[in-house]
Amino acid sequence: MSEMRKRKYKSMEQRLQALERLDKGESVQSICKDLNVGKSTVNDWRRNRKSIEGFCTQIDTEKVLEKRCTLRKAKHELVEDALWLWFVQERRRGTPLSGPILKEKAMILHSKLQPEEAFVASDGWLSRWKKRHGVHFIGVCGEKLSANPTAATDFSARFLKIIDDENFCPEQIYNIDETGLSFKLLPRKTFATPQETSAPGFKTSKDRITVALCSNASGTHKLPLFVIGKAAKPRAFKNINMDALPVYYRSQKSAWMDTYLFREWFVCEFVPKVKKHLAKSKLPAKALLLLDNAPTHDEHLQCDDEKEIKLLFLPPNVTSLQQPMDQGVIECFKRKYRRKLLSEVLSKLETDDSLDLTKVLKSVNMKDVVYMSAKAYDEIPPSTFVKSWKKLWPNIEDSVDQNNTTADEPNNILDGEPDDNAALLHDLQQLPNCGPIVEEDVLEWINMEKELDNEVLNDDEIVECVIRQDNEMNNDADGAEIEEEDEENKMSHAEGKAALQLAATYIEQQKEATAVDVIFIKKWREFAHKKSLETKIQKKVTDYFKC
């Protein structure tokens, strides 16, 4: 009797990677050989693609995808999601939490979400919940801490002693901070009907992503933005090499930072890029990363083999006073992003008269957001980052090469004042059919984002948010873009060659063009030409074997 063949289980991460390889043109045979599975298995993944991608967008962390081999969900998934939303919110506010408090809150949320089902928030359940969400320690005691200027002065002295003892220079000291980005948010007056602005602020969360900014104190090394969206691979990324994106993109079903994502970023992105920059700058291979004490920032992150990369956590009662990225950098980034969003909206309205503002905003996809964000971040000058450290490091400018940070840079970038507001006001006034826009509306627009960041949801709002999110996930595998879109056909090499030829002709005719610009575009035109020839040769060989 023949031996029964063993079933080979592959993780959700491996299945997603296989689907991406198929998108890039790799053959089924090649993937089967690499993963040691049969053709029928890969074909099953392809047939069940929507289910696989839909399930993966609902996984809490990408780390789970490495081990998960089935599509089964947690029994009380909505309760777990609601508790996590509440937990992150309360930790950001500095609320003291403990195991018993979390179990009691879980029971309250369950009574609102699934009262007909039996549920016990046992110690074992809490332990599994903590493991799934990467919560290493819960036992914060004492009173809620408010900003303390005296504690800030003490921490500044401690910080200055560390950099003096370790002989760190501004190029070796980094800060990272996360913020929510409502990537379609416009002032209320820009809409023609009041119904479009009647929804409470938290309902716009489906159009929010998390963006983490990280740079050294001299502003000479800005790591790519760390962008966290809901979808593992949004529709807008179809046929796109995600490794070539201008940001470090990852997914989490609520578009939140979590412990596993942060650890992955630190190990795979931060450490290698910092070491490379320091080597290029001929500086000692050591660095200091300053970060707040958010629950997603693992205090056990530092590894024994990375002793040259040190971590320093801001005390919770000084973060708002001394976190460098909060001293104007994030606001500067969001102002620049808003200008790019307005420019994109105006461009689409001018191109197609049949579109209105609502339709244009719906057409803004994750690819648009990623590139607008990267461009906005790239435009922040080094001097903005230097100034942001002054509350913590008053004499930082004495340690920075001013020739590399201040040339040709406006003085008002950090504060984003009159000229910045005037530019935003001018762009807003170009929008058709909107109410009269004045500078106060621009300031309200800016503060709307801050209000959303600081918004506190009560239990009923958390329940409503979780239910809506679950419905969106069930109705749309993308988890972020609700409207159905026609799948874009992948551009052929011949089409790419023709488009690049047209682009090369245009660039050559512009007086602003440089030799580097022309050479660059022609290089890609030759690449497309070569690929087009290879495709024709392969097609002829295939035709030869046809009967």
Q: Encode pLDDT of 290-313 as tens digits.
A: 999 887 787 767 654 567 899 999
Confidence of residue 528 (pLDDT cuts 50, 70, 90): confident
pLDDT for 35 beyond 70: yes
What does the alpha-carbon distance between residue 282 and residue 275 come to, in Å, rounded to a whole number?
10
- Closest by Cα among 253, 293, 228, 248 to 64: 253
Q: Return mean pLDDT, the chain.
A: 79
| The residue to which tokens 């200055």 are assigned | 160
Question: Mean per-residue pLDDT for 73-95?
Answer: 79
Does pLDDT of 491 surpass 90?
no
Query: What's residue 136's pLDDT?
Result: 59
The mean pLDDT value for 322-342 works out to 93
User: Does 447 or 405 have the greater pLDDT score?
Assistant: 447
64 torsion bin: left (phi>0), alpha (psi -120 to 50), beta (else): alpha
| Architecture of domain 77-133 in this structure | Orthogonal Bundle (1.10)
DSSP code, position 313: E
pLDDT mean over 465-469: 78
Q: What is the mean pLDDT of residues 369-388?
A: 96
Q: Which secondary-structure segment (H or E) carries 155?
A: helix 149-166
Q: 176 - beta bridge partners?
A: 214
pLDDT greater at residue 465 or residue 209: 209
So where are the chain's domains?
12-66, 77-133, 149-189+205-402+418-437, 491-546
The CATH number corresponding to 12-66 among 1.10.10, 2.20.28, 3.40.50, 3.40.630 equals: 1.10.10
**Is residue 84 within 8 Å of residue 60, measured between CB atoms?**
yes
- Note the pTM of the prediction, 2 decimals: 0.69
Kindly indicate the confidence band of residue 486, based on its pLDDT and cuts at 50, 70 and 90.
Answer: very low
- The helix/strand/coil state of 307 is coil
Residue 193 confidence (pLDDT) above 60: no
Least confident of 200-209, 289-298, 495-504: 200-209
| Cross-strand partners of 212 | 178, 226
Beta partners for 213?
177
* More confident: 498 or 174: 174
Asked if pLDDT for residue 519 goes beyond 60, the answer is: yes
Tokens of 352: 């197609």
Return the top range by mean pLDDT from 238-247, 331-340, 481-490.
331-340
Would you list the DSSP string of 35-55?
HT--HHHHHHHHHTHHHHHHH
CA–CA dist 61, 189 (Å, integer):
38
Assigned token pair, 451: 């209000």
Q: For the chain, what's the residue count?
A: 547
Looking at residue 189, its amino acid is K
Q: For residues 361 and 345, what is the distance between their CA atoms, to the nearest angstrom? A: 7
Alpha helices by DSSP H, listed for 172-323, are: 259-265, 271-280, 319-322
Distance CA(228)–CA(251), nearest Å, equals 5
Same fold flag, 12-66 and 149-189+205-402+418-437: no
Strands 287-291 and 173-182: parallel
pLDDT at 205 over 60: no
Q: What is the fold of 149-189+205-402+418-437?
A: Nucleotidyltransferase; domain 5 (3.30.420)
Rounded to whole angstroms, the Cα distance separating 504 from 517 reads 9
**pLDDT digits 0-9 by tens, 129-177:** 887 776 755 444 444 456 678 888 999 999 999 999 999 999 999 999 9
Q: In the predicted model, is pLDDT for residue 191 greater than 80?
A: no
Q: Can you give the pLDDT at residue 429?
A: 82
Residue 194: pLDDT band by 50, 70, 90 thresholds?
very low
pLDDT band at 222 (very low <50, low <70, confident <90, very high): very high
> Rounded to an integer, what distance in angstroms lies between the CA atom of residue 494 and that of residue 358?
36
State the pLDDT at residue 134: 64
Closest CA to 344 of 330, 364, 327: 364
Q: Of 97, 185, 473, 172, give the one whose Cα is nearest residue 106.
A: 97
C-alpha 327/C-alpha 428 separation (Å) is 26
With a CB cutoff of 8 Å and minimum separation 6, the contacts of 196 are 358
Measured CA to CA, the distance from residue 174 to residue 290 in angstroms comes to: 6
| Cα distance from N-terminal residue to C-terminal residue, the chain | 40
What is the arithmetic mean of pLDDT over 49-75?
55
Please state, as a whole number, how many other Cβ atoms lie within 10 Å of the Cβ of residue 185: 19
Which strands form 309-313's sheet, in the order they lie side by side?
248-251, 226-229, 208-216, 173-182, 287-291, 309-313
Q: What percent of the chain has pLDDT above 90? A: 29
Amino acid 273: pLDDT: 96
Per residue in 106-119, pLDDT (tens digit) is 999 999 998 888 89
**Tokens coding 291:** 């970060």
Of 24 and 63, more confident? 24
Dihedrals phi, psi of 253, to nearest 5 degrees? -60, -20
Q: How far apart are CA 445 and CA 301, in angstroms?
A: 37
Q: Once rounded to an integer, what is the mean pLDDT over residues 526-531?
A: 84
pLDDT of residue 233: 83
Angle between helices 12-23 and 49-56 in degrees, nearest 10? 120
Query: Which carries the bigger pLDDT value, residue 369 or residue 78?
Result: 369
HEC states along 465-504?
Answer: HHHHHHHHHHHCCCCCCCCCCCCCCCCCHHHHHHHHHHHH
For residue 491, what are the contacts with CB-CB under 8 A and spacing of at least 6? 239, 499
pLDDT at 263 over 80: yes
